[in-house]
Chain A
Amino acid sequence: MSKSVIIVDDSIFAMRTLTDFFTEVMEFEVVATGENGTEAVELYEKYKPDLLVLDLIMPVMDGIEALEAIKKCHPDASVIVVTAMRDSEELQKSIELGASGYIEKPLRFNKPEYKELFKKRINDALK
């Protein structure tokens, strides 16, 4: 049975790229998608997926707030954060809050070396 994933990113382009990667490469089932942190919290409660992929910078509620809310109720939640700012305080804070790993933008899924790296990070996050 394939793993379930929820993808939350406010960019349609990034969402499509992530969805393609998780369905075609990781062979996950994308059970839901969202565009902001509020939706991330609601969707996580509804589906309780194996993995949540969460953009950090989003409108309404950002990824950090969503991660904090989800981890408060579900400490074992597996969450991978996505960000273009790899040295940022937000990324550091997300790791402190319990994110299991991160994927940096641009999403270089067309590069074999990055594809393998991200596969490893995702699999590690699920352990």
Chain B
Amino acid sequence: MGGIKNVRQILESMCDLFAECAIECVDAMFGKESELKMPWQVVEQLQAQFDRLLTMGSGNEEFSALTCAGIQYDSLDAFVEEENISTEYAADILGEFVNNYCGLLSSKDVFKDNFGQHIQAVPILYSDGQSFLPFIWGVQGYIYIGDHWMYIGYTIRDNITRSNNKF
């Protein structure tokens, strides 16, 4: 960790790790096998148009990050096998998922070597609304259980150089 880095290049080298952690997290939390139907990729702005979108900030002195989990109304049932999940419970499940996902990422040496240990902030759930996330390079992708999917995005920038800002 330390020094000026091209965060976008680091994220590109870690795309598979972000995807693997998502699959590991679904298996650990819900006891279900999920799959990728397409590779995860680095994008200049994370997506934000979902029925439910949970975001959680994290970071340390050097980096600020944002983790997002997005899902459609009927998809969460496939992950947790419960019906009629309330908005409050959906927020709880997505918040716990993001919390655990960030914990898993932080346990990987390659993540720690590049970004250090992060402290997590309070998660926020957006429901039924349109959200706009900042133009900062990030990794995003989908994991599937059958035809149901969950979106996960992770964006991070260097606090000092802000070298990962698109603008």
Contacts and interface: CB of A to CB of B under 8 A. Distances in A.
A12 B92 contact: yes
B120 A85 contact: yes
B117 A85 contact: yes
A84 B28 CA distance: 12
A32 interface: no
Contacts, number: 56
Given A11-B92, A105-B99, A106-B29, A57 B120 contact: yes
A14 interface: yes
Interface in A71-89: 83-88
A49 to B, nearest CB: 24
B125 to A, nearest CB: 13
Interface in B111-162: 112, 117-120, 122
Interface string A103-124: 0111110110000000000000
Interface stretch (B4-12, B35-43, B45-53, B102-110): B102-110
A11 B118 CA distance: 20
B2 to A, nearest CB: 17
B92 to A, nearest CB: 5
Given A13-B29, A86-B106, A110-B28, 13 more contacts: A83-B103, A84-B104, A84-B120, A85-B103, A87-B112, A87-B117, A88-B117, A88-B119, A105-B99, A106-B25, A106-B29, A106-B100, A106-B104
10 contacts: A11-B96, A11-B99, A13-B80, A14-B96, A84-B100, A85-B102, A85-B117, A86-B106, A88-B119, A105-B99
